[in-house]
Amino acid sequence: MSTAPPSSPSRDISRPASLGGVLSVPGDKSISHRSLILNAIARGDALVQGLSGGDDVISTMRCLQAMGVNIEPAGTAGSYTVKGQGAQLTEPSDILDAGNSGTSMRLLSGILASQPFVSVITGDGSLRSRPMHRIVDPLKQMGAQIMGRQNDSLAPLVVRGGGLKGIEYDLPMASAQVKSAIMLAGLSATGDTVIHQPALSRDHTERMVTAMGGKVEENGLDLVIHPANLNAVDITVPGDISSAAFWIVAGLCHPNAHILVRGVGLNPSRTGIMDVFQEMGAGDSLQLLDQRTEGGEPVADILVTSTELHGVEIGGDLIPRLLDEVPVLAVAACFATGDTVIRDAAELRVKESDRIATTVSELTLLGANIEATGDGMVIHGKGSGPDVLNGADCESHDDHRLAMAMAVAGLLAEGETTVHGAADASVSYPEFWQDLELLLQDVR
């Protein structure tokens, strides 16, 4: 293992004889964003603990601070006090920068649409290339004035908000970000807002709005959001299952592994990856310990040990529940017996990178038998033998999840793997490389 610092542009990884230890992953990124945003527009003060320290969440925090929200550290790492401003924020004096975070841009646009001032929100080059018409269109229907590049479909976005009315809207895709942007705008609209979902997506916004005194009616996949003034609530953010997924794959696929990941959130709208691994034959090698509820969210410790997997077909309504985990799931599929087919995942092409193309290209470099399709990929698994993958030079393509997926591949491959762009992991998991080193040190 390289001794380069976490900020190094590349890291060298080799497969250890064994892999094991106990660790905690960062606070759930989705819940972290929402705990800041919703408490910022609530009445009263809140203590948020276990907040993700990733760059994406910091982008949300800084945008809120630029709109007059007081967010201060509260002693222990990951703890912050948020002094709610109620429904009225302050017009920012400068452009809001969402960095690399699609969640920040889309959810904050829902807030900006409700505010009676002009704002401009942008992001880095990657974010400025990602589709924003999916939030712009419904927010315009609600009464916001929004302009952007390429016929209002790309950032920077200029938003003149206020005077919103509730609408009835059919989501064109199962997207928690789009759904949440409309919901956040609907809290300040005149009249109810009705959202028809094509499939289940993560429901953290619904849970948190309800916990803060708002009213969200659910009828199957249909949601009705009533206008509401929210009350601040203290939130303990559970561990992010998307981050835990990297260690789950490492533990299942390494020939001699025993890993315990503490305090992982197991919201049913997020646990598609757990369902897939059970279908792949993980069985007792993937155990949930000390199952409990924290802040309205189900939480457990996850114990992972080595096993043999088999290929499966993944698609349909399951995809929104595991979309972020597809790159590392593809790594696991390389070590399964038989073919794994991932379909209905075209949304991956408009993430931080084209995750279909980049996952396929990078795993191919390591010797994987994998091919891209229009809306997914097919992985021809080689089983759990010693030479499934072979070390190679890999690129992150400025994508945090790809950087970490290739690191896991390096832990499982024969020979040395170099991950270029390793520091991109900090977008969602700043401690990733330290935790990887911890798993190696615990078995030395």
Q: Are strands 168-170 and 70-73 parallel, antiparallel or unpaired?
A: unpaired
Q: Which of 23, 35, 80, 54 is nearest to 237 (CA)?
A: 35
Q: Report d(CA 86, CA 88) in Å as an integer.
A: 6
Q: Does the pLDDT at position 366 exceed 90?
A: yes
Sheet strand arrangement including 168-170: 168-170, 193-196, 222-225, 216-219
Please tell me the class of the 29-236 domain: alpha beta
**pLDDT value at residue 443:** 52
* Fold match flag (10-27+238-441 vs 29-236): yes
Residue 149 scores a pLDDT above 90: yes
Q: At what angle do helices 326-334 and 241-253 cross, to 10 degrees?
A: 10
Contacts for 397 with CB less than 8 Å, ≥ 6 apart: 352, 353, 358, 362, 421
Average pLDDT for residues 49-74, to the nearest whole number? 96
Residue 5 has pLDDT above 70, yes or no: no
Q: Which CATH class is domain 10-27+238-441?
A: alpha beta
Region 3-25: mean pLDDT is 81
pLDDT at 304: 98
Looking at every residue in the chain, the average pLDDT score rounds to 94
DSSP string for residues in 40-79: HTSBSEEEEES---SHHHHHHHHHHHHTT-EEEE-SSTT-
Sign of CA dihedral 128, 27, 401, 355: negative
Say whether pLDDT at 144 is over 80.
yes
Q: Is the peptide bond before 9 cis (omega within 30 degrees of 0)?
A: no
pLDDT at 376: 97
What pLDDT is stored for residue 75 in this prediction? Answer: 85
| pLDDT confidence of residue 399 | 95
Note the pLDDT of residue 6.
42
Helix, strand, coil proportions of the chain in percent (round to 5)? 35, 30, 35
Q: What is the pLDDT of residues 163-207, one digit of tens each?
A: 999 999 999 999 999 999 999 999 999 999 999 999 989 899 999
What is the band of 442 on the pLDDT scale with cuts at 50, 70, 90?
low
Q: How many helices (H) and strands (E) does the chain have?
A: 13, 24
Q: Is the dihedral of CA 273, 274, 275, 279 positive or negative?
A: positive
User: Catalytic site residue 324?
Assistant: yes
Query: Residue 55 has which token pair?
Result: 């760059």
Phi first, then psi: give them for residue 95, nearest 5 degrees: -70, 135
- How confident is the model at residue 307, as a pLDDT? 97
Marked catalytic residue, from 97, 324, 399, 435: 324
Q: Is the pLDDT of residue 444 over 70?
A: no
| Average pLDDT of the segment spanning 246-259 | 97
Domain boundaries, the chain: 10-27+238-441, 29-236
pLDDT tens-digit profile of 391-411? 999 999 999 999 999 999 999
C-alpha to C-alpha distance for 418 and 293, rounded to whole angstroms? 40
Average pLDDT estimate for 285-294? 94
- Please, which pLDDT band fits residue 441 given cuts at 50, 70 and 90? confident
DSSP labels, 243-255? HHHHHHHHHHHSS
